[in-house]
Structure 1
Amino acid sequence: MMSQTEKTAALYRMVMPTHTCPFGLKALHLLKSKGYTVEDHWLKTREETDAFKAEHGVATTPQTFIGGQRVGGYDDLRRFFGQRVADPKAKTYTPVVAVFAVTALLALAVTWAATGSLVTMRTLGWFISFSMVVLAILKLQNIEKFSSMFLNYDLLARAWVPYAYIYPFAEAGAGLLMVSGALPWLSIPVALFIGSVGTVSVFKAVYLDKRELKCACVGGDTNVPLGFVSLVENLMMVLMAVEMLFMSV
């Protein structure tokens, strides 16, 4: 077992009137959670920070020292404790899982509020509609980045560029109309159209051309790979449109 002396760490982090380094706070929390007594040294000015970096030959702060040896920054500290450090360039499905998990719970919550039951015939429809709206919001956060990524694989957008800008608005509008049940004569064809074009585009890019691309389904700032998840997003819109079409007949 480590002695109390061995469980002492020195942390140097920026704490200024207009800026407190978030990674410094994370490093401080991590050290304390591991049972370390922390000598918390504040770098209160840019001059102090630059002088510290020059003295120790480092490019960033915070910096942690344990047993007189420099461990490094926050990511280095996580590695020191055997914790995973996320690769910002790694492919991930986390954004999609987060969206679908929350919209599924939202659909259950709305079903309960509206009917007093947890699941009804409308629950699946609400889930798909909510997912469409939330995915559209993510695309609209930065429509330029979304459109650039979308143009890599969508067949209609590559033939007519404005479609890449229209798509998220059409997805949001169709989703909102489907939630409310209003104007089915508009929401059904829109969802059926964009869902069908998307399905064909993703299938061609991934399964026929076998291209490795990023999916624009959750916006243009993620590393979600284009593939099955993208196909599911488009097929859900088609399913919703077909379901509403049969219900309206």
Structure 2
Amino acid sequence: MTPVASIHRMVIGDHICPWGLKALHLLRQAGYRVEDHPLASRAETDAFKAEHGVKTTPQIFIDGRRIGGHDDLRRFLGKTVRDPNATTYRPVATLFVLAALMALAIGRVAEGTVMAGITVERFVAISMVLLALQKLRDVDGFATGFLGYDLLARRWLPYAYIYPYAEAGAGLLMLAGVAMWMSAPVMILIGGIGAASVFKAVYIDRRDLKCACVGGNSNVPLGFVSLTENLMMLCAGLWMIVS
């Protein structure tokens, strides 16, 4: 016999609760026959909340038992629930994977092969531009996080605001293959200071911080990935000067 679940979710005019849609999908995916009860007005929604003593919708019921909201349903079905405060490397890992794929795609178009030696340089340049883009979404938020560990920014605050523009500019110049005399020193400067700052904060002072590398609101922990990012810029700048 097909199990039955009922869901009460907000559907007011053009506003359709996204968590209600997600819960509806989860129930159907789990094999439940769903009795859908849209709450079509604010008054109807408030009355439902008061009746059941709940503060939010959607609310899911299975076999007459109230399961709760979307996250409660996920737990009931044995699925993980994302912790918005948990640290994760996923944002920066995704960024680097996309940068690598973009570098390979450009190589395929420009040289007819994905194995050209310049592909690595393009990967570094694209990574820098994408990382700068994340910072530039909220420069003030980035600067606030950056001031928590960067050695130069702590002594000269404007550097925290200049940094994302310098990173983007150097990455674009490197990608275009022009003005290496300008981009290489910038990469050496910001990469060297950044590497020293991260190494001191994490490996000497043993501080538990979040990295501002993908913006001020990220949950990426400051550590190996942040150090690698800065060493990558430092080495790329040195390579451009040598070559």
The TM-score with structure 2 as length reference comes to: 0.98
- Counterpart in 2 of 1:81? 77
Q: CA–CA distance in 2 between the matches of 1:41 and 1:192?
A: 60
* Pairing 1:242–2:238 present: yes
- Counterpart in 2 of 1:176? 172
- Counterpart in 2 of 1:26? 22
- Counterpart in 1 of 2:195? 199
* Pairing 1:108–2:104 present: yes
Match of 2:12 among 16, 21, 44: 16
- Counterpart in 2 of 1:68? 64
Amino acid at match of 1:154: D
Amino acid at match of 1:113: V
* CA apart distance, 1:114: 0.7
Amino acid at match of 1:159: R
Amino acid at match of 1:207: Y
Task: Show CA shifts across 1:39-81 (max 9, x none).
Answer: 1111111111111111111111111000000111111111111
Task: Could you tell me which runs of 5 or more consecutive residues in structure 1 were left unpaired when the two chains were aligned.
Answer: none
Q: Deviation above 4 Å: which 4+ runs of structure 1?
A: none
* CA apart distance, 1:18: 2.9
Q: CA–CA distance in 1 between the matches of 2:109 and 2:59?
A: 50
- Counterpart in 2 of 1:162? 158
- Counterpart in 1 of 2:113? 117
Aligned residues: 243
Task: Show CA shifts across 1:103-159 (max 9, x none).
Answer: 111111111111111111111111111000000000011111111000000010000
Q: CA–CA distance in 1 between the matches of 2:223 and 2:126?
A: 21
Alignment RMSD: 0.7
SS in 2 for 1:120: coil
Q: CA–CA distance in 2 between the matches of 1:243 and 1:40?
A: 62
Q: CA–CA distance in 2 between the matches of 1:48 and 1:10?
A: 17
Q: CA–CA distance in 2 between the matches of 1:32 and 1:229?
A: 40
Match of 1:45 among 41, 45, 52: 41
Task: Could you tell me which runs of 5 or more consecutive residues in structure 2 were left unpaired when the two chains were aligned.
Answer: none
* Pairing 1:139–2:143 present: no
Q: CA–CA distance in 1 between the matches of 2:109 and 2:24?
A: 43
SS in 1 for 2:74: helix
Q: Where do residues 203-218 of structure 1 align in structure 2 (5 Å cutoff)?
A: 203-218=199-214
- Counterpart in 1 of 2:144? 148
Q: CA–CA distance in 2 between the matches of 1:49 and 1:239?
A: 59
SS in 2 for 1:88: coil
- Counterpart in 2 of 1:185? 181
SS in 2 for 1:65: strand
Q: CA–CA distance in 2 between the matches of 1:123 and 1:198?
A: 24
Amino acid at match of 2:234: V
Amino acid at match of 1:206: V
Q: CA–CA distance in 1 between the matches of 2:61 and 2:82?
A: 22
Q: CA–CA distance in 1 between the matches of 2:42 and 2:234?
A: 56
Q: CA–CA distance in 2 between the matches of 1:181 and 1:246?
A: 15
Amino acid at match of 1:96: V
Q: CA–CA distance in 1 between the matches of 2:94 and 2:51?
A: 43
